[in-house]
Amino acid sequence: MTESSEQRESKNFVEQAIDEDLKSGRFSGVFTRFPPEPNGYLHIGHAKSICLNFGLARTHDGTCNLRFDDTNPTKEETEYVESIMEDIRWLGFEWDSLHFASDYFDQLYQWAEKLIEEGHAYVCDLNADETRQYRGTLTAPGRDSPYRDRSPEENLDLFRRMRDGEFEDGTRALRAKIDMASPNMNLRDPVMYRILRATHHRTGDKWCIYPTYDWTHGQSDSIEGITFSICTLEFENHRPLYDWYCEKLDIHHPRQIEFAKLKLSTLLMGKRYMIRLVKEGFVTGWDDPRMFTIRGYRRRGYTPESIRSFCADVGVAKFNSTIEIVRLENSIREHLNRIAPRRMAVLDPVKLTITNWPEGRVELNEAINNPGDADAGKREIPFSGQLFIERDDFREEAPRKFFRLKKDGAVRLRAGYIVDCHDVIKDDEGNVIEILCTYDPDSKSGSDTSGRKVKGTIHWVSAEHATEVEVRLYDRLFMVDDPSVVEEGQTFVDHLNPDSLQVVTGYVEPALAKAEVGERVQFERLGYYIVDEDSTAEKQVFNRIVPLRDTWGKIEAKGKKS
RNA sequence: UACCCCGUGGUGUAAUGGUAACACUACUGAUUUUGGUUCAGUCAUUCAAGGUUCGAGUCCUUGCGGGGUAGCCA
């Protein structure tokens, strides 16, 4: 059971609405769509919507389309279309059919003429500024446009001339004739078409008028036979307009349902934030392993499964909540714990010499690939008299609860022997540069006849056999819960974690030499790592995906505080 | 100071008028040749006040708190 949480019995409010409409016969199936505007890269927030839309279609034996909402040519690019498709597929979903709102421009135009003919739309000569004046405010009703009562004939003529390019950008707009006094701003004669001379990424220069989101979205859903049009909460106030257009046009009428978008602590998902991070070089690009984009998480080493199970885990509701980032981190740990083979790597090495080890002798020790998965098998690791261990795993004078190696103490070397430390060598500044131990020949892992029990087990690599690699230790970009909250005169940039990336040279066991780009492993006792695409034949590069839970770190931190 | 939406443990999500449940976190403890994993345990009278009802987290009223909305963006 990889994603048992996806099969929970309790239903969220969207599923309940679906059940209700299926049961009543309002709709005969679940036909959804994921409708991004191709104006940027997908981020973890989109993943929730993708999982919801595709997931609902999947569990109800329906369909889910991918539709690009490309009605604003000034912001959209083909590059984004490609990246969005790639990211959705990487997440593990495939659309039943691919559409572009721009494919419906002709139909939309026809429908606009229909509304004009029926007296439901008019050409307004107010410019953007004047339109705002007439719209009124949140508390005051608007006033009717002086052009509101033009005849259908005149409107039709004007609208066609708009289409034919007779007027300057922004000088006229087609508006729906609804109610300038409506408490819902969206119903105060919303704009359906604006004059906009811009080259569209698909229709080129065919059009100089473009439909707005509201005049496009519901009809696009309708054309595709969508039954449940799922979107985020900020469109709640648009629903009456969505419904109005479908009714006036007398076309198939999907049900719009709004849910709360994903908000994660320590993350800033807004486009303007992410653009600044990239443009000002705080990260290396949209796929920087610290970014909240889908490609960032992919490069970081997150699995599609972990992101899907995370989305299923956080649920769907209308409450504006903030999910703790540890839950995302937890979901990747949970998955990788099951599938990642264990390997040994030392990232901050100090030399450990076994003084009673026979000169030149090398043993091949057997090690288990995954203690939780017998099928993962075993591997061999060379063991010799010259090892590297983690600097942090040795203390000359250790606190009471320190279970690792200390002077005159013993520790087990993972998949090796118990060693006893009898001396250390220091440099002029008093730093330990070499640890001298003896090993207990009877204590070999797997065939221990020594009868000794030691509290700690540490990892190691054989100095002579280890490979030198580059390791990129990634940490959270922001350490505060909500980086958008700033002091006077500061911006979110001031919350950036200066240590979000640390590059170190590590030493890894020989079994890793053949690891290919994209392979994920657990460095025992450290965390999960993936071979990055920057790896070359000369040098591998590993990204830290997420560290292991660190109980000792907590104990130690607590001890320091008190 | 208009309209719409939302308030359930530290964080989320359930309970569809009938014993407040599940997950994550935190904290205990056990197991462990990864201070990982795993296992067990502990942590809430549902924003407030009224009302309806045999019975209210759920329905009604009011208040309080949070979010959204005044692009020819989506």
Q: Which of residues 449-468 of A touch strand B (CB under 7 A)?
A: 456-458
Q: What pLDDT was estimated at residue A166?
A: 98
**Is the shortest CB-to-strand distance from A172 to strand B under 7 Å?**
yes
Please spell the DSSP secondary structure of A116-162, one letter per residue: HHTTSEEEE---HHHHHHHH--SSS-----TTTT--HHHHHHHHHHH
Phi and psi based region of residue A451 (left: phi greater than 0; alpha: psi -120 to 50; beta: remaining):
left
Hey, what are A547's tokens? 């560290």
**Is the shortest CB-to-strand distance from A337 to strand B under 7 Å?**
yes
Residue with tokens 């080129």: A204
Instruction: For residue A364, name the pLDDT band (cuts at 50, 70, 90).
Output: very high
Residue range A401-443, pLDDT digits in tens: 899 999 999 999 999 999 999 999 999 999 999 999 999 999 9
- Bridge partners, A532 (sequence order): none
Using a 7 Å cut-off to protein CB atoms, list the covered nucleotides of chain B.
1-8, 10-16, 23-27, 33-38, 66-74
**Torsions phi, psi of A275, nearest 5?**
-60, -40
Q: Which of residues 140-169 of A touch strand B (CB under 7 A)?
A: 169
Q: Which residue is nearest to nucleotide B68 (CA to C1')?
A: A234
How long a stretch of residues is chain A? 562
Strands A541-547 and A527-531: antiparallel
Q: What pLDDT was estimated at residue A388?
A: 98
**Is the shortest CB-to-strand distance from A361 to strand B under 7 Å?**
no
Q: What pLDDT was estimated at residue A7?
A: 37
Q: Which nucleotide is nearest to A412 (CA to C1')?
A: B33
Answer yes or no: is pLDDT of A275 > 90.
yes
CA-to-CA separations, A188 to A128, A192, A217, A234, A238, in angstroms, rounded: 14, 12, 18, 18, 12
Residue range A241-254, pLDDT digits in tens: 999 999 999 999 99
Q: Which of residues 198-237 of A touch strand B (CB under 7 A)?
A: 210, 212-214, 217, 233-237
Q: In what order do the strands lie in the sheet with A31-34?
A: A31-34, A63-68, A98-100
Question: Which residues lie below 8 Å from residue A109, measured CB to CB, with a gap of 6+?
Answer: A163
**CATH of A345-459 given 2.40.110.10, 2.40.240.10, 3.30.110.70, 2.40.30.10:** 2.40.240.10
Q: So what's the architecture of A13-259 in CATH? A: 3-Layer(aba) Sandwich (3.40)
Q: Which nucleotide is nearest to A263 (CA to C1')?
A: B12
Answer yes or no: is pLDDT of A83 > 70.
yes
Answer yes or no: is pLDDT of A100 > 60.
yes
Protein-to-nucleotide distance from the CA of A140 to the C1' of B5, whole angstroms = 21
Residue range A101-157, pLDDT digits in tens: 999 999 999 999 999 999 999 999 999 999 999 999 999 999 999 999 999 999 999
Q: What pLDDT was estimated at residue A9?
A: 65
A450 CB neighbour count, 10 Å cutoff? 13
Q: Domain locations in chain A?
A: 13-259, 345-459
Which of A244, A254, A111 has its CA nearest to residue A188?
A244
Answer yes or no: is pLDDT of A296 > 70.
yes
Let me know if A116 is exposed, middle or buried by CB neighbors in 10 A (0-12, 13-18, 19+). Answer: buried
Answer yes or no: is pLDDT of A560 > 90.
no
Q: What pLDDT was estimated at residue A10?
A: 81
Q: Which of residues 473-512 of A touch strand B (CB under 7 A)?
A: none
**Is the shortest CB-to-strand distance from A182 to strand B under 7 Å?**
no
Question: Which residues lie below 8 Å from residue A74, measured CB to CB, with a gap of 6+?
Answer: A196, A198
Q: What pLDDT was estimated at residue A558?
A: 79
Instruction: For residue A4, name the pLDDT band (cuts at 50, 70, 90).
Output: very low
Instruction: For residue A2, name the pLDDT band (cuts at 50, 70, 90).
Output: very low
Mean pLDDT computed over A366-384: 95
Hey, what are A205's tokens? 């220069």
Q: Which nucleotide is nearest to A231 (CA to C1')?
A: B74
Q: Which nucleotide is nearest to A195 (CA to C1')?
A: B72
State what percent of residues in chain A have pLDDT above 70: 98
Cβ proximity of A92 and A142 under 8 Å: no
Protein-to-nucleotide distance from the CA of A180 to the C1' of B36, whole angstroms = 63
Mean pLDDT computed over A68-86: 98
Protein-to-nucleotide distance from the CA of A34 to the C1' of B47, whole angstroms = 36
* Whether the model pTM is above 0.90: yes
A525 CB neighbour count, 10 Å cutoff? 19
* A16 sits in which H/E element: helix A13-24
Across A21-106, where does the E strand assignment appear? 31-34, 63-68, 98-100
Protein-to-nucleotide distance from the CA of A350 to the C1' of B24, whole angstroms = 37
Task: Give the ipTM of the model, two decimals please.
Answer: 0.96
Q: Which nucleotide is nearest to A19 (CA to C1')?
A: B16
Answer yes or no: is pLDDT of A3 > 70.
no
Q: What pLDDT was estimated at residue A403?
A: 94
Answer yes or no: is pLDDT of A5 > 60.
no
